[in-house]
Each structure stands twice: as structure tokens, then as C-alpha cells.
Structure 1
């Protein structure tokens, strides 16, 4: 079966089994390692976002090239999460498969999501503070700082349902990237599997909750430091929540239902009926 997929990759059926096994291990991590790994993931996604803004802030690049190249650089975040090892809320939406197979309890599932989401926020906002103090956004005559504020302004002014559905589409692609990375046996396999779905969601302008935990606080810090953008008013914590709530909800739906639950029905439920 594996030969069909080339280079001895795991088949989709085998991936489903791995997702179950990995999901049980993730859900039952002790509190401190789970939280620390989640903090790392928040920082890793923030590093991908930082890399993305360097590309996005260059006005000499055409729109399509800037979106696609920015997406490729943003993929650094998930590559670090998968290969270096960390706990990311959006990818961990796939734990729903182990829950649907009754291998973990509802309490274990919700505990994992809550702790990992909190840790991701700590890691993302912690990185934002470090990057702000490094004066990295001052590069290119402050163009990077202005781009952060522009990005955050667009996100916080987005209508609720637009943010929600962009969150759905984003995490369907993120969870597919995680799913395909599990097919690989080498670092190269995993990195290649990640790049295309992640660059696609970024290029399309979809919304990732953990990335926004970095983007928006960074813009708030820059505004506090005196940076401005002519088209963006002062961003507040309420603005941040107005984006985070629908995007989190959309990410949760996109990852659990449109990837996790569908693959559960295909590969696990059919076994129960046979």
C-alpha cells in the first residue's frame, strides 16, 4: 500500500491511526510539559509571522508574489512546531479523532485545548515583546512597524462572520498540513508537506488565531511606542478580542469538523460498521 504513495510514505489510513495514537499522548501530557510546549508553539508561529512581515512590508514586490512568498516564509512556524516539537492549538484540533474513537475523554480533550491555547498566547505575546524590544520593526525606515499596524488594523476591523469563515478555511488547511506531515518519515518529507497548505492559507488571507496573538499585540506595542499608520486608529484589547473570538471559533470548526471528524467517519467509523 505504501508504495502507491511513493518514497515509503504512510497511507491515509495509517495516518488516521497515527493521529489517534498521537492524540492520546498529547491529551495526557502532564501540565507543565504541555504548557511549556504550548508556549514554544506560540513563539514558533510568531517567528513565522515575523518572517512573513519582512516580505509583506516590501512594496516593490507585486501583490501575488508578495502573498505567496509571504506564505512560504510563514510556513516556518508550523515546520518548527512539527519538527522541533511543540503543542499548537490549531493543529491539536485533530485530537477530536481520538475523542470520537473514545480513546480520550471530553475532560481530557477540553483540558488540552484550554492549556495549549493559553500557552500559545503566552508564547506569542512574549515573542512580540522581545521583538519589540529588539527594535527589529525599525528596519527599512520603519516600514516593518507600519506593516504590523496595517495588518492588525485590517484584522481588528474585519466583520465577525468574515473573520469566522476565514478562520474555518485557515484551520482546514493547517490541519491538512499536519495530517500530511504525519505521512512523512523524514524532515524533508514533513517540511514539503507543510509548505503548500500553509502558504495557500496565508496567500488567500485566511485567519489563524495563534498568529493573530502575535500580530495584534505587536501592533499595540508599536503604537504605544509612537509608531503610527495613517489609515489605522489606536488598537485596543477589545479590538483584539473582536478578532480573536470569531477566529478561534472558526479555527475550531475548520479543524475538528472539516478535517478531524470527516477523516474519523472515513477511516474509523467504517471499521466499526464492518
Structure 2
């Protein structure tokens, strides 16, 4: 269905149909295939957080908003990888509720898919934590990379329960908006570019992405407990 405009994008009604069909496909896919794709998504989001940490290390002298914007744009790589490569990310998979609202899937199918994807994302994130630890990346920039991880993880752990849930909902809202808008695109570039600003917005604003935290917090725990003496000497 083509929109009646020179940009040849899908109209909102057509986007809703795409979301519905995507939800049916995800909810009825073989559970093991879903789990493997969820592991992949956990790795993709972890890669994006590594990009965020690398880009924001050493930016303490920059204006707060600019440094966060740079990090947010870098983090958008994660959602772009998930959407373009077909990985199953929990915070975008919640959109299968559209298929439930249309009566195309059951509550049981929805719940099983969400649980499968959530734990698959966790496995992928933890596997990437292990890989990053073995790489010794935390010593980059004379330990600045690892220090950035520690400070970022520590900040996340100081939210109250209500704050954490609220910030998680806000991040999920922006992820869903980004994915929903990507349904309007017809080319890879359309889909990728439309997702950058919603993701950059929630990262720059300090919203909490539950799957990203599956990488960041364990990475901080590992560095705090197992970093070499050289690391602690380097960061003072």
C-alpha cells in the first residue's frame, strides 16, 4: 500500500497491518528459533552499549547534553541491528500485543513469546559480558573505559523501584515508537535512519533499557570484583 505522497512511505493504517503480521509471525515461530534470535538480540544491544561507553569515555569536560546525545546516537546501532537482522528484542517484541488486540494470537502465545525472548536476551547479554571481560577492553584509555562502565552501572543501581519502573516504561515506549515508525520505510536506509532519534532521545534523557542493563550491570559487577591491580592503579 503506497502513501499518496512523493516519499512513497506506508500510511499509518498499513503500518498497523505490518505490525499485526509481524506479531503473528513472532508469536507462532518455533520456540527454539525465537530463543536463538533473542540471544542474538542480547548480543546486538550489548554491542551498542559498548559503542556508547567507548564514545562517552573521556567526555566529562563536554556539556552534559552533548555527551549524552553522542552516546544515544551510538546506542541506536543496537535497535538498528535487531530490526534489520531480524533478532528478537524484548522491548520491541512487546508490540506483538497488536496481534493479540486483533484476535490473531492468544494470551498464552503472547506470554510464552515474551518469556522466551526475555531470557534469550539475558543469555546473549551475559555471553557478551564474558567476551568483553576476556578481551581486556576495560583497560582501554588507561582504564577510563572500565571506569565509565562502573560509574554508569552504579548510577543505574541508585534508582528507587518506582523510578526504575517508570524509566523502563519510558524507554520501552520510545523503542516501540522507533520500531513502529520503521514499518513505514521501504528501504534499509529508511528503516535505519527513522530509528536513530527516538533511541537517542531515551538514552540521552536517562531512560532505562531493561535489556541493555542486562549487559551493563553485570559488566560493572565483573570489573569491580575481578579487575586487575593495574586497573585500580590506573584510575586512581
TM-score category (smaller protein): over 0.9
> How much has 1:2 moved relative to structure 2?
0.6
Partner of 2:48: 48
What is the correspondence of 1:169-248 to structure 2 with a 5 Å cutoff? 169-226=170-227
Partner of 1:39: 39
Partner of 1:137: 138
> How much has 1:3 moved relative to structure 2?
2.9
Post-superposition Cα deviations, 1:28-71, rounded to whole Å, max 9, x if no partner, equal 11011100000000000001111001122222433111100100
Post-superposition Cα deviations, 1:60-102, rounded to whole Å, max 9, x if no partner, equal 4331111001000000000000001100100011111111111
Query: How does the TM-score come out when normalised to structure 2?
Result: 0.93
Paired residues, number: 228
Across the aligned residues of Structure 1 and Structure 2, the Cα RMSD in angstroms comes to: 1.3
* Separation (CA, whole Å) in 1 of partners of 2:80 and 2:160: 30
* Separation (CA, whole Å) in 1 of partners of 2:119 and 2:66: 34
* Separation (CA, whole Å) in 2 of partners of 1:62 and 1:130: 32
Partner of 1:10: 10
Q: 1:2 aligns to what SS in structure 2?
A: coil
> How much has 1:120 moved relative to structure 2?
0.2
> How much has 1:226 moved relative to structure 2?
2.9
Partner of 2:164: 163
Post-superposition Cα deviations, 1:158-188, rounded to whole Å, max 9, x if no partner, equal 1111111111111111000000111111111
Post-superposition Cα deviations, 1:223-249, rounded to whole Å, max 9, x if no partner, equal 1213688xxxxxxxxxxxxxxxxxxxx
Partner of 1:255: none
* Separation (CA, whole Å) in 1 of partners of 2:82 and 2:158: 29
Post-superposition Cα deviations, 1:181-239, rounded to whole Å, max 9, x if no partner, equal 1111111101111100000000000000000000001011111213688xxxxxxxxxx
1:78 is aligned to 2:108 = no
- Structure 2: tracts of 5 or more residues without a match: none
Partner of 1:123: 124
* Separation (CA, whole Å) in 1 of partners of 2:85 and 2:31: 19
Q: 1:202 aligns to what SS in structure 2?
A: helix
> How much has 1:20 moved relative to structure 2?
0.6
Q: 1:90 aligns to what SS in structure 2?
A: helix
Q: 1:140 aligns to what SS in structure 2?
A: coil
1:24 is aligned to 2:20 = no
Query: How does the TM-score come out when normalised to structure 1?
Result: 0.81
Q: 1:141 aligns to what SS in structure 2?
A: coil
1:151 is aligned to 2:152 = yes
